[in-house]
């Protein structure tokens, strides 16, 4: 039995343990999910900030978040995250002693993303001037130091949020909310922002695994009946 057939049968088995109300919510959320816009967090080290940005991404309907760890370990604040992290697909780039950001760039480029990074440099353009007809990944850097030199040199475009007061920048969670909401709104004006039927099915099965009580016991029983145990 191949994986596709296994997943189909497992879905049918778990479906009986998911309430109609939850199925309806899943359907509504899946129809608003997108992979045309993705978030990248590079070396964020304050759990409160990381969690706030991820919560914003989930609320806006983004599915993927890329977390790059190089100098700082990434952590979450459960109170701020409010369970939103369980619905996201988090890609961790942390296995190398160096160049984890390069691994992230390579994966994004292979996925067809243009890479945009927030920066205070004078060469950065207003975030509202970006061409958002393409799949887009947005990078936010560490709280104190910002994006790395590699990101500065290799991003397709640098963006900034114009300041009108004395303070030089917003907190990262506020910056992310401003940029992601605008990008998300603009990207959804063009075709191809929704998930494919295959992506929806894959996510739905993943979510079923998360909401069915004692799912590991159910899967064990399911596989035993299929003579896979």
Residue with tokens 């914003």: 56
19 labelled binding-site residue: no
Cα–Cα distance, 64 to 36 (Å, whole number): 9
The H or E element spanning position 118 is strand 114-118
Largest CA distance in the chain: 68
Cα–Cα distance, 63 to 108 (Å, whole number): 14
Structure-token pair, residue 26: 């899943």
56 labelled binding-site residue: no
Structure-token pair, residue 165: 């007061």
Partners of 136 in beta bridges = 37, 114
Binding-site positions read: 118, 161
Binding-site positions for S-adenosyl-L-methionine read: 118, 161
């Amino acid at each position: 039995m191949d994986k596709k057939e296994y997943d189909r049968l497992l879905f049918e088995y778990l479906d009986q343990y998911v309430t109609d109300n939850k199925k309806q919510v899943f359907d509504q959320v899946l129809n608003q999910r997108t992979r045309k816009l993705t978030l990248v967090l590079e070396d964020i080290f304050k759990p409160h900030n990381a969690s706030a940005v991820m919560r914003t991404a989930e609320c806006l309907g983004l599915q993927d978040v890329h977390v790059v760890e190089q100098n700082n370990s990434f952590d979450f604040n459960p109170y701020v995250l409010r369970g939103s992290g369980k619905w996201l697909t988090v890609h961790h780039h942390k296995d190398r002693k160096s160049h984890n950001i390069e691994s992230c760039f390579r994966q994004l480029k292979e996925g067809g993303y243009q890479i945009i990074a927030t920066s205070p440099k004078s060469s950065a353009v207003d975030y509202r001037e970006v061409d958002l007809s393409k799949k887009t990944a947005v990078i936010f850097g560490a709280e104190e130091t910002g994006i790395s030199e590699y990101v500065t040199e290799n991003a397709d475009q640098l963006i900034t949020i114009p300041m009108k007061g004395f303070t030089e920048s917003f907190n990262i969670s506020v910056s992310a909310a401003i940029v992601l909401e605008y990008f998300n709104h603009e990207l959804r004006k063009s075709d191809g922002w929704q998930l494919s039927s295959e992506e929806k099915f894959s996510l739905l099965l993943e979510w079923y695994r998360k909401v069915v009580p004692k799912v590991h016991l159910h899967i064990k029983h399911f596989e035993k009946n299929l003579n896979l145990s």
